[in-house]
Each structure stands twice: as C-alpha cells, then as structure tokens.
Structure 1
Amino acid sequence: MERKTVFCYWASWAIYRSGNGNHNIGQIVPEYCSHVIFTFSGLDINGEITSLDPDADFKNGGFKDFIALKQRDPSGCLKVILAIGGWGEGSEKYSLMAESASSREKFADSVLRWLIFYGFDGIDIDWEYPTQRGGLTIDRENFTELLKVLKKKLSPRNRTLSAAVSGSLETTKLAYETNLICKELDFLSIMGYDLHDSNVTSNHSPLEAEGEATTSRSTISSTIDFYRRSGCPGEKILLGVPAYGRSYVLKDARITALGAPITGKGKEGTFTREKGFLGYNELCEMFKKHKGFKREYSAKNSSVYAFNGKLWVSYDDERTIRQKAEYVLREKLGGMMLWSIDTDDFRGKCSNQMYPLLRAMNEGLKWESKTKK
C-alpha cells in the first residue's frame, strides 16, 4: 500500500521550553513524516516573507539543520516545508498583502526566493483567517488570487504549495472559495481542533457530533464533507489532529459530562505555559503522577476527555488518532497532519515509546516505521 501523506508541524519556539518540554530539530525522526513543516515565518512591513526569530532561524542551526533532516531520512523522499502565518501573526497584514495584484506578485516573488535560497521544498500558507480578525470581506476572493499567483511561481520549479485551513464550517464558508482553492493547492490541512465551546465543557477535536451541548457546532467530518461537496479532491485533503488538549475548570467537580458548566480555562502547563492548553506530553505526565483521573471515550466522535477534581480536559490519544486514521482511509483522503510534534510524548517519558501519537497516526494509515527508538 502506498504511504499516505503525513504532515509533521514543528513549532520552532519549542527550543525555548524548559526541562522535558524542550524540543529541538535534532530530536525529529524524519522517517515518521512524509513532510516536515517549519513554523513560522511571517510578513514584513513591505508585504514580503521574513523571519520571526532571526537568531534561531539563521545563526543557531534553524533552517540549515531543518533542511538537513532530508539527509537523515532513510527513504530519501522527505519534503521540507516552510510555513508562514499562524495565529500569532494575525490576519490584517495578510489581508493587506493580498489586496492588490502587485502586492500579491511581490509576496510570491519573495517566497520563491526564500525557498530556493534556503532549500525548502515548498510553502505552507497559514493565514488565520481570511475575512476574520480585522480582515475584509474581499479576502475570500483575494486568498484565491494569492494562491493562483503562488502556484504560477512555484509549480515550474517543483515547489509544493499547501495551506492550513480552519476546521470550523462557519469560518470555512466565510473565508474560502473552497472549490477554487483546491485547484491551486497541492494539499490543504483541515485544522480539526480548537472546535470547542468556551462556556461549557466540550470536545475540541470531534470527528462527529455526539453528546455535545451545542449540536450545531462544527465537527471535522462536517467540514470535510463540505469540501468534498464543493468538488475538492479527497487526495488533497489532510485531516489535522492535535497533540494537545483543551482544559477547563469545572464549576462543580461532581458535574463532569460534556456540556458541564465551567468557571474558566484550566491552569497553564509546565512546558507550554498557556491557560486552557496542555501538550500531550504534559497530560500524560500528569496522568502518570496523579492517579485520580477518570477518562471517558466516545467512539463516534473519536475523542476522549479526562477529569480530576475541577480540572477537565479534552484531547486525542493513540486510540482516537488511529480511529481518525481509519476515517481517512475509508473516505479516501490524502493523509493526516499533526499539530505539533513537539508536544507529543517525544521523549517517551510516560509511553512505551517515543512519539506515541505520531506513531499511532502512521500505524492507523497502514504504514509502520521500522525505526526502533
């Protein structure tokens, strides 16, 4: 069976995390991925691609070490991609860059120069999100035009063009001309996470709707179905899964089901330091240390949640990722992506092996690494 595409996103700021959360390029296992994605580059004031951390990207290994991952891949097929954007970059300056034909051309030229100069195999566009967060209604059409220009520049030089797009059906309808962007992109990664409610407990990466308080909330399958009905080829679609959980503080520790009332976001993790966010490595160490956690698993929406006292967290584990991989095979999609490999249990501290989520993804897609680590 031909290997499915596996996009491995790496958050470059993981090099600044402390203790067991610290992750560097040397810890990436290329064999587990078909594509590794360096996140993130950004936009400068002239609307051209730029580094967000020049010291890390250029002086301390960075791009050079990332490109060198290709030499460590036993298959010789690894593709190394540079991503631009991300939540922290915002949307408004991307809206400005995409607003005119001349600014789109200028940006695309700068991207091509960067890919060739630094040795990347492609660019991944992560504009979060057209028409949102200070953007304009015309962003929807301008995003398509931007992809057209990029495709025209990159295709003759065999560079890949991909995009990470919202998993929310509501945002998808507002932000993208789905039928048109699929024609320009080689891959689009559906960000099948952060689909949770903010005022009650809910699964943040639900494949289907089951037992949810807000039944109209987006699910991964509803968004992917919308793309398919728009004429998007399944082989271009990658299902994105999280290597982290979304946490809440329960209002009443006795009420723990989906839709339970909350008082706010959960406490920040030791490594990631963000309220309401816990890397899978933080979660599994927490489960190992505190034996009082109870887990509830939903087969239909391929998700799991755990609770202990007033802490409640929704996340993906090896079982749910394998189930989502089965969905990918059943629906004949192109593959999967993981955000992000640096919050997997990459050290194997509480699993029997390193990168348990990434391994589960590959195994679920019927490809098993022969690397023994």
Structure 2
Amino acid sequence: MLLLLPLLLLGISCVGAETAGGKVVCYFSSWAVWRPGDGSFDVEDIDPFLCTTLIFGFTGLSNVTWTIEVLDPWNELCPEEPGGNNCAFQRFVALKETNPDLTIMVAVGGWREGSTDYSEMARDPEKRQTFINSTVDLILTQGFEGLDMDWEYPASRGGIPEDKENYITLLTELREEFDKYDPPLKLTSAMPAGKPTIDDGYDIPRLIPLFDKWHVMAYDYHGAWDNYTHHNAPLCGYYLDHGQDIYFNVKFTTDYYISFGVPKDKMVIGLAAYGRCWTLDDTEDHGMLADAYEPGTAGPYIRIPGTMGGNEICERLLEDDTCEVVHDPNLFEPYFWCSSDKIWCGYDDQDSIYLKARFAKNMGLAGVMIWTIDTDDFKPLCYTESFQLIKTAKKALEEPADGEIVDCPPFVYYTTTEEPTTTEEPTTPVPTTPEPTTPEPTTPEPTTPEPTTPEPTTPSPTTTEPTTQKTTTPKPTTPSGPSTTWDPSTAPDCTGLEDGTTFAHADCNKYWVCINEHGVLEVCAPGTLWDVTQDICNWEDEVDTSNCNVWDCMVDNTYYPHPDCDKYVWCWAGSPHIETCADCTFWSQPDLDCMDPTNVDTSDCTIPDYCH
C-alpha cells in the first residue's frame, strides 16, 4: 500500500530568483489581464525574483505572411506600433531591470494555434526563412533573450507525418541563425508528455543539440476528454491503468526522454498550477475512474469548463462546504469532489508540488517549469503568502539532494477493507511537505482507458495528447452556410478593417477575428459556440446554430468526413479536430479509416492537388 508519511509543516520563506537548486521557469499567459475580478493578472503582478526564467505566452504564426505574429497587438505593443496600446512586451522585458539575473523569453505557438500552419511553414524553405527572419526581428526589437518553441504538435492536430523531419530542419535553421549573435539567442521548447505524441512527431536524439533547455509539459495526462475521472498530472501510474494510460505519468515521461539521451541538466519538468475537472455521472461513485462524461463546471476566472486554476480551486474549497478533499492511497496527488454541482477535480497542492520538485532535484534535472504563474494564488486570497505553489517548488529545489527518488510500483493493491483516506480542506489552508514511502510491487488486475483541451476566446493553452480510438458515427448537421460573399471556412479579407472585427466561421464553435488586417481563426471553449449576435463565445443553448455546422462531439472518438479527401474530423476533448491521413491515403467513412484512394468514394470530397 502506498502511504504518505505524516505531513510536516513547511514554512515558506521569500527567496531570490537565483534558486541554488535549479531553474524555476514560469509561463505567463498574457490574456490573463482580461480575466474578471480577482483573476485578472498583469505584468505588474509578477514578482521579478520569483522565477529564474519568465516566458511570455504567446505569439503566433501568420498563415498569410508566414511571419511570427503578435496575437493581441492592443495589449502587447505600444501606441507608436501598429495596433498597440498597453506595451505588455515592453513592461515584461523591463522586469529584468529589477532583477538582472532574470531570463526573459517569448513563446510561439500553444494549444490554440494548432499544427496546420506550422506544418505548412516548416515544409517550405521560403516560408521557413520568412518565419525565422521575423522571429529574430521581434526578439531583438522587443528585447527578449530568445524563443520558446511551442508547436503543438508536429505530425498531429492537422500536421503531416513529414513534420517529424521538417521540424528538425526548421530548428536547425533557427539554431544556426540564433548562434550568429553574441551572446547567442536562446532556443528552448515546450515538449509533449504523452508517448504517442513524442513517437509520432519528435526525433529526440537529433533535437537534443538544438535546444538550450527542454521544458516537458508533464501535465494534461488526463482531462474531460476521458469519460472517467483521473488525475491531471500523476507522478506515478495508477494501479488500474492499462493500455496507453500506463505511459501517462510524470515518472514514465521523464525516464522516456532520458532513454533517448536527453541530458538531465537540460530537462525541466512541468508542474501544473491548475486542475482538470469532470462532472460526475453519479455522486455515489466519486472516486478515481468514476464515470464522468461531461467537463466540470467552469471557474470564475479562467471560465473554461473542465479546467480550474489553482486560485479558483483554493477559493472553491474555502467557500463550498459540500466539497471533500481525497487522498487516494494509490496516488501522490489529491483530488476533490463537491456534491453541490457534482464536480470532480484532480489537482496539485503544496504537498504534491513539493514531491515533484524533489523528484526533479534528486533526478539531477535542470529544474521545474510552472504552467502558469497567473493561476497560482497570487493575491493571495487563500494563504498568508502569495504564489504558494511556486514558492513550495523553489523551497524543494533549494534543499540538498538526498538521493530519494520515488520508485513507482507497477501496481498497488486495494484491500477489500481499506478505502481511500479523505481529509477536509482547512478553512485556512496550511502548506505541508510529504515524504511518501515506496511500496513493494505487486500484481493486481487492471481495467479502463485515455489527450488536452482546446481553448476559449481568452484561451488557456496547455498540452493535449490523443491516443486510442474507437468508433461512433453519427451524421453531422450541415445546414446551408451563412449568406456571405466569402467561404466562411477560409480567412476573410480584413484589409482596412479595425483590429477585433469578427466574422462567423462555417463551424459553430469557431470564428475569425481581424488582427493587423489578417483573419485569425479562433476556437471557442468546450461547451460554448460563437454567438454572432453578441460577438462572444456563448453557452451552446444560447446560440442560434441554423447557419453553421454543429459537429456533435458529445461522444469522444466520433468521426466525420472532411471536405478534403485526405482529411477527417475526429472528436475528442468535446470538440472536432481535423486530422490528415498519411501519404495521400483518403478517409473512408464506412471503414472509419484512411484507405488506399482506389478503395474510397471521392464523389463527395475534394482531392488535394498534392495528391494527384
């Protein structure tokens, strides 16, 4: 039985950014400034001595000019720059004036950006060079020290198998250009956690010399795309995991990268300052692997069904007396559930954050990365000090290594008499420090199944990893498209239009927004659709869907045909995602598979030019 030792009271002290124990890399979501009330977080809310590296998320990629693109010019740029006003880039970089030891980076990509445009850019030498030149120009003009590459992900989510090789080419050329400067511009990457995504898109040994640091997104192993409860970021596998799920834990991901030769002093392990949530089908069944076919209720700040920030979680536990915090003896991390709205969330608290940071320290890794600084309890409203999760991780890294590395057993038995222990959250939460014991491996029988979330109007990007597939084939509703003069599935002509001008998309859960006279595709959060009457992503039951395509993705692993013969629509995480068949094979709806074109009826789809 995996048991936690009695928890020790941990006093968190204020420490400087130069953490003796390793890197503390913090991602900043620039859109957090637009969150309501106590959730709003701007550059000035950042303690410049909290992290060793700050990464500004995100910039994007223009599919018109193929340059790196400022996604929110009004917020990011200054008034003298096109579309600018709030100078967030400038204010972010200026934090280095307060702490000269701070490293300031900018990230490109993220979940919302998808893979299609990056795949197109990476396979075209001219477009690659355009992207690289514009990236260097933005870094130097705005004062950043380098780029964090966050293409999610090569060879998936609209990418092609050739992405794996093209990604190497892109990064090799980026590295060569960055090395021309003195000192060289830094190049880091947000790397996936799921084995299937790693295997499909990343030639790890050839990537190793190209990156200065390797930021592993060791979270989003489970979420509302699964139809059962599980933890967002388990350090070890759960004893009932089977199939692909046996790979979905921090320990496996870390060991897997090391097995390819990734140097430990380059690897930075991600920590989640948020949780993944479901709505329980039945509150009588509220443990791990309980049936849950809907995302959990959205919190007041991030406002994404199925996701709650650490600050939203701690406030929820203080305010809702129907909630119960549970410490399953087969997990190092807690979860909570509430009878008031049947929500179930797997999250990290101070104890599990401390343990994961100690894991990084004792493994000899470079440090930890936090997604995101703006979802910690930064006010603070729950604790006596701000940024409790990040400060707990720093404390764990500063303590000397003791060689104690968690030995994850293959399985741990539940006895017939023992139940998971539960504890109620104190009214005034107190940070604590766990020291788990490591049980002897045993062998019980497994049962059950398995990627991350799309993003809203003001998104919260992180990692997602589809894996196993199944079958259901309802027909999508495809009413006649909106009466417009352009095809709403393609970018509108934004020439001469103000930034923020919006257009409907042919799919109800998408819309176009004009930025710098280019149409940028946005995706609404799960459970919401684009409301043309209010220019917002609104709840599904509030939106007229008579003039757009409603892909019914209530059941994950449902498939639909795409207008292009070599593509198909795959439902997961509650939303439709366009996938591309390999090697110009074509999607066959009756077979639910990519097939040889001679065996596919192409009368209702378009054969792309590159497949002729």
- 2:203 is equivalent to residue 184 of structure 1: no
Residues 312-348 of structure 1: per-residue CA shift (max 9 Å, x gap)? 1001111111100111011111111101111111001
Structure 2: how far apart are the matches of 1:215 and 1:206? 16
Deviation at 1:101, TM superposition (A): 2.9
Name the structure 1 match of 2:166: 142
Identify which of 394, 397, 403 aligns with 1:365.
397
Deviation at 1:98, TM superposition (A): 0.5
Structure 1: how far apart are the matches of 2:321 and 2:393? 27
Q: What amino acid maps onto 2:179 in structure 1?
A: S
Name the structure 2 match of 1:371: none
3-state SS of paired residue (1:30): coil
- 2:41 is equivalent to residue 23 of structure 1: yes
Name the structure 2 match of 1:292: 322
1:325/1:336 contact within 8 Å kept? yes
Q: 1:94 to 1:301 in 2, by over 3 A?
A: farther
Residues 128-174 of structure 1: per-residue CA shift (max 9 Å, x gap)? 10001110101011111111111111123221100101111111111
Name the structure 1 match of 2:50: 32
Q: Gaps spanning 5+ residues in structure 2: where?
A: 1-18, 78-84, 401-612
Name the structure 2 match of 1:43: 61
Name the structure 1 match of 2:427: none
Larger Rg: 2
Q: What amino acid maps onto 2:221 in structure 1?
A: L
Deviation at 1:8, TM superposition (A): 0.6
Structure 2: how far apart are the matches of 1:106 and 1:85? 16
Q: 1:359 to 1:298 in 2, by over 3 A?
A: farther
Structure 2: how far apart are the matches of 1:358 and 1:300? 25
TM-score (norm 1): 0.95
Structure 2: how far apart are the matches of 1:239 and 1:172? 15
Identify which of 100, 103, 117 aligns with 2:127.
103
Identify which of 296, 299, 311 aligns with 1:266.
296
Identify which of 196, 212, 215 aligns with 2:222.
196
Structure 2: how far apart are the matches of 1:223 and 1:299? 22
Structure 2: how far apart are the matches of 1:212 and 1:129? 28
Count of aligned residue pairs for this structure pair: 366
1:179/1:227 contact within 8 Å kept? no
Name the structure 1 match of 2:272: 242
Structure 2: how far apart are the matches of 1:199 and 1:328? 31
Deviation at 1:301, TM superposition (A): 4.8
Q: What amino acid maps onto 2:98 in structure 1?
A: R
Residues 293-328 of structure 1: per-residue CA shift (max 9 Å, x gap)? 222235765321111112110011111111001110
Identify which of 234, 238, 251 aligns with 1:206.
234
2:96/2:102 contact within 8 Å kept? yes
Which moves more between the two structures, 292-301 or 7-16?
Answer: 292-301
Structure 2: how far apart are the matches of 1:227 and 1:301? 23
Name the structure 2 match of 1:224: 254
Structure 2: how far apart are the matches of 1:215 and 1:280? 30
1:207/1:300 contact within 8 Å kept? no
Q: How does 1:23-102 map to 2 (within 5 A)?
A: 23-44=41-62, 45-58=64-77, 59-73=85-99, 76-102=100-126
- 2:362 is equivalent to residue 336 of structure 1: no
% of aligned pairs identical?
Answer: 32
2:239/2:330 contact within 8 Å kept? no
Deviation at 1:105, TM superposition (A): 2.3
Name the structure 2 match of 1:312: 344
Name the structure 1 match of 2:462: none
Structure 1: how far apart are the matches of 2:374 and 2:204? 30
2:279/2:294 contact within 8 Å kept? yes
Q: What amino acid maps onto 1:364 in structure 2?
A: A
Residues 250-302 of structure 1: per-residue CA shift (max 9 Å, x gap)? 11111111111113110111111100011111110010111332222357653
Q: What amino acid maps onto 1:166 in structure 2?
A: P
Q: 1:214 to 1:123 in 2, by over 3 A?
A: same
TM-score (norm 2): 0.58
Structure 1: how far apart are the matches of 2:394 and 2:36? 28
Give the CA RMSD over aligned residues: 1.6
Identify which of 322, 328, 332 aligns with 1:302.
332
- 2:193 is equivalent to residue 161 of structure 1: no
Which moves more between the two structures, 287-296 or 352-361?
Answer: 287-296
Q: Please state which structure has a larger fraction of its residues in helix.
A: 1
Q: What amino acid maps onto 1:71 in structure 2?
A: E
1:211/1:258 contact within 8 Å kept? no
Name the structure 1 match of 2:383: 351
Structure 2: how far apart are the matches of 1:189 and 1:200? 28
3-state SS of paired residue (1:347): coil
Structure 1: how far apart are the matches of 2:57 and 2:330? 32
Q: What amino acid maps onto 1:47 in structure 2?
A: W
Which moves more between the two structures, 10-19 or 251-260?
Answer: 251-260
Q: 1:135 to 1:206 in 2, by over 3 A?
A: same
Q: 1:17 to 1:367 in 2, by over 3 A?
A: farther
